[in-house]
Amino acid sequence: MKYSSLEEVRSEIDKVDEEILHLIAKRKDLIREAARFKHSIDEVKARDRVEFVIDRARHLALTLGVNPNMVSEIYTIMIDDMVENEISEFQNAKNF
């Protein structure tokens, strides 16, 4: 699609950013839900799963023409934060 002004393009970028943030929030909610099914901190950390998710994201980035190193960094930051939150959820759930 061709845009007729910089403002139009920026408006579309803002919409995409909003969608990205909504998806991150949804992912965070799903991570919190997943904590209910886990039985240990190691299971929460799920190093094999983290590696799989990052590898999958890198592959998809390559197919979409996006820098896979950037995607790896973004996913690493996101997953590290979400794992910490999931550990808290896990510990809180086990204390009840």
pLDDT over 80 at 89, yes or no: no
In angstroms, how far is CA 70 from the centroid of its own chain?
A: 13
Q: Which two tokens stand for residue 75?
A: 């996913």
What CATH superfamily classification does 6-94 receive?
A: Chorismate mutase (1.20.59.10)
pLDDT per residue as tens digits for the range 20-74: 999 999 999 998 888 888 889 999 999 999 999 999 999 999 999 999 999 999 9
Tokens (6 digits) for 58: 């890198």
CA dihedral sign of residues 44, 79, 49, 25? positive
CA–centroid distance for 96 within its chain? 28
